[in-house]
Amino acid sequence: MLFLQDIGAYFIMLSKVFRRFTRWSVLKELIIREIDSLIIGSIGIVSFISFFVGGVVAIQTALNLTNPLLPKNLIGFATRQSVILEFAPTFISVIMAGKVGSFITSSLGTMRVTEQIDALQVMGINTYNYLIFPKIVAMLFYPFVITISMFLGIFGGYIASIYGGFCSSADFIEGIQLEFIPYHVRYAFVKTGFFAFILATVPSFHGYFLKGGALEVGKASTTSFVWTSVLIIVTNYVITQLLLA
């Protein structure tokens, strides 16, 4: 019952986010600040993880190609497919649920605990729009992060393959061009868009409606991470079924 209540509250929150807009001069600053903390601030960790996981994917693929009849360009092909279809959009999003999601929940939760949200409400400000809308707009730039992840994932695979002696540069480059289907990239970005919306709104919901004190801020961050990850995984399945099956 409480679960259904939460779902209802989430959608009511979303409807309020897009009402009674904060004035543009203020909103502009908030959006820039959110882009800085949610997007720019995530590029470092995303780049690091993507590069090394791309490398691992390439090494594991190479080590599984035991049959001498299989061409070496399959290493590049498998790395590209894994990174573009699944690793960059989905698994980076799950990682971002931990980084960005926890940040959003704890910052809004702290504002709730310290009555800063009440203070905004007393001033007659639409707190949903003021606090959550800039996060949603900032997350429109999330595909940019995923693009970097895709590039560095494949680049990591390339470096690992060449310097690990698993294949030649020409084989790897031939592999990443092999049977390239542009629709797969479109599919990856479509689901990235959905994940961005989940990443902005689900943690906001957990932070905004937090009740209690400092301990609850920690608990809410964990709950927010779990629910954001679950929703990303489920949405991933549904979108894949709809767009690829």
Partner 1 sequence: MIVVEKLNKSFNGTNVLTDISNQFEKGKTNLIIGQSGSGKTVLLKCILGLYGIDSGNIYFENRSLQKMDTKERSVLRQEMGMVFQGSALFDSMTVEENIMFPMRMLTQKSSEEMLSRANEVINRVNLINANKKLPSEISGGMQKRVAIARAVVMNPKYLFCDEPNSGLDPKTSTLIDNLIQEITKEYQITTVINTHDMNSVMEIGEKVLFLENGRKGWEGSNLEVFKTENQSVGNFIYSSNLFKKVREVYKEEN
Residues contributing to the site for partner 1 (CB under 8 A): 20, 22-23, 25-26, 114-116, 118-119, 121-125
Per DSSP, the residues of 146-200 read HHHHHHHHHHHHHHHHHHTTSS-HHHHHHHHHTT--HHHHHHHHHHHHHHHHHHH
CB of 69 or CB of 215, closer to partner 1: 215
Q: How far apart are CA 37 and CA 41, in angstroms?
A: 5
Min CB(37)–partner 1 separation in Å? 11
Q: How far apart are CA 118 and CA 94, in angstroms?
A: 31
What 3-state DSSP class applies to 19? coil
Q: What angle do CA 18, 142, 103 make, to 5 degrees?
A: 75
Min CB(114)–partner 1 separation in Å? 6
First and final C-alpha spacing in the chain: 34
Q: Tokens 């990239």 label which residue? A: 185
CB of 60 or CB of 116, closer to partner 1: 116
Given a contact cutoff of 8 angstroms between Cβ atoms, the answer to whether 156 and 53 are in contact is yes
Min CB(123)–partner 1 separation in Å? 5
Min CB(96)–partner 1 separation in Å? 22
CB of 4 or CB of 69, closer to partner 1: 4
CB of 130 or CB of 172, closer to partner 1: 130
Min CB(20)–partner 1 separation in Å? 8
CB of 21 or CB of 237, closer to partner 1: 21
